[in-house]
Amino acid sequence: MISRFSSFILYFLLLGFLCSCQANDLQYKLIEEKPIATFVGNVKTDSTLRSEMTDQEFSQLQFQILTEGNQYAQLFSITDDNGILKSASVIDREDVCQPGVQCILEFSVSIFKRDVTDLDKLGFVKFLQIGVEIKDINDNAPIFLEPEIVVNISESVPVGHIILTSTAIDEDSGVNNSVQTYEISSFDNTFSVQLIENLDETSNLGIIVNKQLDRETKNSYQVTVVAKDYGSPQRNGTLLVKINVIDANDNAPKFNQSSYSLSVKENPPIGLVLLHVVATDFDIGKNGKVTYHFGSRTAKVVTRLLSLNESTGALIVKDIIDFEVDQFLQFYIEAKDQGLPAKTAQAIVKINVTDINDNSPKININFPPGGELISEDSKIGQYIATVSIQDDDSGVNGTVSCSVKDKTFELTKVYENIYKINLKTKLDREDKAQHNVTVSCSDFGIPPKHNSSNFIINVSDVNDNDPKFSESVYLSTIYENNAVGDIVAIVTAIDPDEGKNGEVSYSLSLNADSVFSISTSSGIITANKIFDREEIDQYEFNVTASDNGTPRFSSTVLVIVTIGDKNDHAPVYSKSLYTFTIQENLIPGTIIGHVSAYDNDTDGNGRLMFSQSHSFSSVFQIKQNTGEIMVIDLVDRESKELFEFNVTVSDHGLPPKTSSARIRINVKDENDNFPVIIFPTKSNNSIQIPSSLEVSSLYNQSNSI
Ligand SMILES: *[C@@H]1O[C@H](CO)[C@@H](O)[C@H](O)[C@H]1NC(C)=O
Ligand SMILES: *[C@@H]1O[C@H](CO)[C@@H](O)[C@H](O)[C@H]1NC(C)=O
Ligand SMILES: *[C@@H]1O[C@H](CO)[C@@H](O)[C@H](O)[C@H]1NC(C)=O
Ligand SMILES: *[C@@H]1O[C@H](CO)[C@@H](O)[C@H](O)[C@H]1NC(C)=O
Ligand SMILES: *[C@@H]1O[C@H](CO)[C@@H](O)[C@H](O)[C@H]1NC(C)=O
Ligand SMILES: *[C@@H]1O[C@H](CO)[C@@H](O)[C@H](O)[C@H]1NC(C)=O
Ligand SMILES: *[C@@H]1O[C@H](CO)[C@@H](O)[C@H](O)[C@H]1NC(C)=O
Ligand SMILES: *[C@@H]1O[C@H](CO)[C@@H](O)[C@H](O)[C@H]1NC(C)=O
Ligand SMILES: *[C@@H]1O[C@H](CO)[C@@H](O)[C@H](O)[C@H]1NC(C)=O
Ligand SMILES: *[C@@H]1O[C@H](CO)[C@@H](O)[C@H](O)[C@H]1NC(C)=O
Ligand SMILES: *[C@@H]1O[C@H](CO)[C@@H](O)[C@H](O)[C@H]1NC(C)=O
Ligand SMILES: *[C@@H]1O[C@H](CO)[C@@H](O)[C@H](O)[C@H]1NC(C)=O
């Protein structure tokens, strides 16, 4: 009869940082448990960088570890200017790696170069893939997961019967730091210990019964198994095995298979029956009634994920089985009859969990220092950020392809899961000051899983725009006789740049300086003097708008100011007195002359209208428009030989201005009467003269007798 107690083997594979499977550019070694800031290596001098650039470029290199999304990268630090790689925490090899495998932590370092023309700017040079092997020290003792077990064993088991249990675990790796020997101390050498190799290269610990047992002489044993490593210092772990010797029983249950293997896709529905185990017992009654149990040392993870129906042997899914956490489950199940003592049998169950595409790619975006703000004059190709991708699925389900749908930025693959983002086109802050860039990734599973992540790039300003006037020429009118300080015109120029680069100030050209003033900030142009249209009726000058950026940009616009007229001049006659001489008896309608006047105002204010004081004359009339004077009635010198009157001229201003002149018209005689002799007599035309009249003397009526 064989009685075994349960044992378990658990393959617990934690998927850590997925290996980029690229040969590392630099490989370092670090012994575990070293204090923080232990020197690991000098990336700057150990790499081939020195031979790839000039002395000056080499001296200006900057280093950055891509920590985003890589938990191992955070265990290290690098001095940004000289590339000294140090540990950033105390690293316990057993925390970061599985036992027994080579422990290499991998991460990337980005290298930037200061731009010689602009020391604030960083240019991307390359990535270096770094691997740091964490070397083991013997810091862990071998340990048995359960320090004490109880085994019931029939007194009838043959010599050589093996009680199976789990080996001790030593989390250290390396030849001498892992478990090397097992020693047993037992009463009278009844038991010995031996490693039992399994087919899958794991092993179990076998406690071998060396002598025939006899419950009646000794019904229990306590044996101690000590596991030792050969490390320095040597460490050990102990297992106390309490063995109860029980009465014999005929038949044990027997599983129809000694081992059950199956494969299940991850995330099976809760309640799914994975398999039925079947054991038969040839005994009858209680001795033949079989119930099923997990082996006593089944790992907790198994009992958390699975349940076993005691009566039917159905193995049922109890919780989510995730490939990314548990890829393989292995445990013993036990069939037990109800006899006293009960008999048991064991079988091993091995479950492979297979992947389905249930993880979306995770997108991590790393910017260089200050990299989320870039200048609008950045060159095409400027490095923007590094994108690292993580997809926990395996095979095509974990193979990812990413893209950026953006006119301005482009994504290029550097390694399998690392991309860099560069500038694809020139930026123009005035067109777009902020870019919201979306990185979209999909894996190649069927159906694929997608994810996207977006980041914001702010564009900083450079002075690349002139101020622009709202008009190509400013035309403005101001009326003469204005007040000093009156607003003449307002010019406005807009500069789309930001801050000082877009701050506009105005100035006048020299020729306008004394006549006008301009407000530097508002562009309001005011008069420095009182204008007189009759003196100057138009001013032309330039206004310059400049921004305050470096270099300064400016533009110039022509301003034409027209001085508007006010009725500030009265008409003026060319003479104050006009004298005309006419013949009498002119035909009515005859023009006898004209008066003229001028007015220095323009338009209505200068348009003249002549008139006469109407009290005056029914004989002459002045024409309103021309100032011509016309005869309108017969003029008889004999009745009036001198006419005098005033004419007025007025402009069309509001109110009109007037002035007047005097007109004098002399009427000349015309031979319109026959001669009549009134001397010496009207009747006989004879004259008597005295003889005394002297020669040459005039004789007239008064002389007459
Ligand atoms: C061993 O047998 C005793 C009774 O004899 C029982 O109480 C105990 O549960 C058994 N232990 C195991 C591990 O089977
Ligand atoms: C392991 O220990 C043995 C004995 O102490 C020693 O001879 C051997 O060199 C060690 N092996 C390693 C790899 O340290
Ligand atoms: C196990 O190690 C302890 C100290 O860690 C030591 O005192 C003890 O003697 C060791 N036991 C054996 C059996 O070597
Ligand atoms: C489980 O996986 C192992 C190793 O990958 C393989 O050898 C075995 O055939 C698989 N078993 C089943 C049932 O798929
Ligand atoms: C064992 O029993 C299970 C459940 O009835 C069955 O699926 C399986 O084929 C059996 N195995 C053998 C070897 O008969
Ligand atoms: C086991 O299966 C039987 C039959 O299907 C059922 O009646 C019983 O409730 C189950 N036991 C448990 C603990 O689920
Ligand atoms: C990928 O996932 C699908 C289901 O989504 C699965 O059928 C396939 O086996 C998986 N492929 C790999 C390589 O794991
Ligand atoms: C998408 O990527 C982001 C960034 O890595 C991650 O936080 C998020 O969980 C991902 N989404 C899904 C559905 O996996
Ligand atoms: C950027 O775009 C994404 C989707 O395209 C949106 O959800 C997010 O709010 C945007 N962010 C900003 C700051 O506009
Ligand atoms: C105004 O500027 C233009 C050129 O920008 C120049 O040709 C012109 O002479 C300037 N005029 C004055 C009045 O300064
Ligand atoms: C009118 O203008 C003329 C020519 O410009 C000038 O000689 C004259 O003095 C002005 N008269 C008045 C009243 O301003
Ligand atoms: C006519 O004009 C003169 C000056 O030109 C003025 O002295 C006189 O008073 C005016 N007479 C009338 C009647 O308007």
Q: Is the CB of 27 under 6 A from ligand 6?
A: no
CATH 2.60.40.60 fits 572-668, yes or no: yes
Report the share of the chain in percent with pLDDT over 90.
53
Report how far ligand 6's centroid is from the alpha carbon of 312 (Å).
7
Rg of the chain over all Cα atoms, to the nearest angstrom:
61
Do the domains 254-354 and 481-564 sit in the same CATH topology, yes or no? yes
Atom of ligand 10 nearest to the CA of 509: 14
Mean of the per-residue pLDDT values of the chain: 86
What is the Cα–Cα distance from 152 to 161, expressed in whole angstroms? 13
Atom of ligand 2 nearest to the CA of 230: 2
Q: Is the CB of 17 under 6 A from ligand 2?
A: no
Ligand 3: list residues with CB < 6 Å: 226, 236
Listed by start position, the domains of the chain span 10-135, 148-246, 254-354, 363-460, 481-564, 572-668
What is the Cα–Cα distance from 234 to 257, expressed in whole angstroms? 42
pLDDT score of 675:
67
| CA-wise closest residue to 296 among 530, 42, 8 | 8
Q: Which residue has the tokens 């209505």?
A: 604
What is the Cα–Cα distance from 480 to 482, expressed in whole angstroms? 5
**Most confidently modeled of 305-319, 343-357, 577-591?**
305-319
Which residues does residue 122 pair with via DSSP β-bridges, in sequence order?
A: 114
Atom of ligand 1 nearest to the CA of 151: 13
Instruction: Map 33-102 to HEC letters.
Output: CCCCCCEEEEHHHHCCHHHHCCHHHHHCEEEEECCCCCCCHHHEEECCCCCEEEECCCCCHHHHCCCCCC
- Over residues 43-91, the pLDDT tens digits come to 999 998 888 888 888 888 999 999 887 888 999 999 988 999 999 999 9
Report how far ligand 7's centroid is from the alpha carbon of 321 (Å).
15
Q: How many CB atoms lie within 10 A of CB 593?
A: 15
Q: Averaged over 386-393, what is the pLDDT?
A: 91
- Over residues 181-196, the pLDDT tens digits come to 899 988 788 999 998 8
Atom of ligand 10 nearest to the CA of 558: 1
Residue 461 contacts by C-beta under 8 Å, 6 or more apart in sequence? Answer: 376, 429, 497, 498, 499, 501, 502
What is the Cα–Cα distance from 311 to 289, expressed in whole angstroms? 9
Q: Tokens for 206, please give them.
A: 């076998």
Instruction: Output the CA angle 226-228-232, nearest 5 degrees.
Output: 145
Is residue 251 over pLDDT 70?
Answer: yes
Is residue 561 over pLDDT 60?
Answer: yes
Question: Which amino acid appears at position 57 of this protein?
Answer: E
pLDDT score of 11:
25
Which letter does DSSP use for residue 218 in this model?
-
- With cut-offs at 50, 70 and 90, classify the pLDDT of residue 99: low
Protein residue whose Cα sits closest to atom 12 of ligand 5: 256
Whether residue 655 contacts residue 605, with contact meaning beta carbons closer than 8 Å, is answered with no
The pick from 434, 435, 436, 456 for probing ligand 9's pocket by mutation, whose C-beta has the most ligand atoms within 8 angstroms, reads 436
Superfamily of domain 254-354: Cadherins (2.60.40.60)
Instruction: Output the CA angle 392-396-398, nearest 5 degrees.
Output: 15
Question: Which amino acid appears at position 531 of this protein?
Answer: F
- With cut-offs at 50, 70 and 90, classify the pLDDT of residue 10: very low
- With cut-offs at 50, 70 and 90, classify the pLDDT of residue 215: confident
Q: Is the CB of 176 under 6 A from ligand 2?
A: yes
Report how far ligand 2's centroid is from the alpha carbon of 181 (Å).
14
Q: Which residue has the tokens 């009759």?
A: 534
- Over residues 424-475, the pLDDT tens digits come to 999 999 999 999 999 999 999 989 999 999 999 999 999 999 999 999 999 9
C-alpha distances (whole Å) from 125 to each of 110, 112, 539, 544, 608 are: 8, 5, 61, 45, 87
pLDDT score of 249:
65
Q: Residue 280: nearest ligand to its CA?
A: 5
Which letter does DSSP use for residue 156 in this model?
T
What is the Cα–Cα distance from 675 to 166, expressed in whole angstroms? 178
Which residues does residue 460 pair with via DSSP β-bridges, in sequence order?
A: 375
Q: Is the CB of 205 under 6 A from ligand 1?
A: no
Protein residue whose Cα sits closest to atom 2 of ligand 8: 362
pLDDT score of 17:
34
Atom of ligand 5 nearest to the CA of 278: 2
Which letter does DSSP use for residue 547 in this model?
E
Q: Which has more confidence, 675 or 237?
A: 237
Burial of 668 (0-12, 13-18, 19+ CB in 10 A): exposed
Sign of CA dihedral 23, 24, 28, 29: negative
What is the Cα–Cα distance from 311 to 335, expressed in whole angstroms? 10
Which residues does residue 113 pair with via DSSP β-bridges, in sequence order?
A: 61, 123
SS3 438: strand
Is residue 567 over pLDDT 60?
Answer: yes
pLDDT score of 100:
64
Length of the chain: 705
Residue 394 contacts by C-beta under 8 Å, 6 or more apart in sequence? Answer: 323, 355
- The hierarchical CATH code for the domain 481-564 is 2.60.40.60
Helix%, strand%, coil% for the chain, nearest 5: 5, 45, 50
Protein residue whose Cα sits closest to atom 14 of ligand 4: 263
Pick the CATH number of 363-460 from 2.40.70.10, 3.90.1150.10, 3.40.190.10, 2.60.40.60: 2.60.40.60
Under CATH, which architecture does the 148-246 domain have? Sandwich (2.60)
Report how far ligand 6's centroid is from the alpha carbon of 310 (Å).
8
Report how far ligand 10's centroid is from the alpha carbon of 542 (Å).
6
- Over residues 298-338, the pLDDT tens digits come to 888 899 999 999 999 999 999 999 888 888 899 999 999 98
Report the share of the chain in percent with pLDDT over 70.
91
Q: Averaged over 677-698, what is the pLDDT?
A: 71
Report how far ligand 9's centroid is from the alpha carbon of 586 (Å).
101
Is residue 248 over pLDDT 70?
Answer: no
The pick from 359, 397, 451 for probing ligand 8's pocket by mutation, whose C-beta has the most ligand atoms within 8 angstroms, reads 451
Atom of ligand 1 nearest to the CA of 296: 13
Which residues does residue 428 pair with via DSSP β-bridges, in sequence order?
A: none
Whether residue 331 contacts residue 295, with contact meaning beta carbons closer than 8 Å, is answered with yes
Pick the CATH number of 10-135 from 2.60.120.380, 2.60.40.60, 3.40.50.720, 1.10.390.10: 2.60.40.60
Residue 51 contacts by C-beta under 8 Å, 6 or more apart in sequence? Answer: none
Q: Is the CB of 662 under 6 A from ligand 12?
A: yes
Instruction: Map 576-613 to HEC letters.
Output: CEEEEEEECCCCCCCEEEECCEECCCCHHHHCEEEEEC
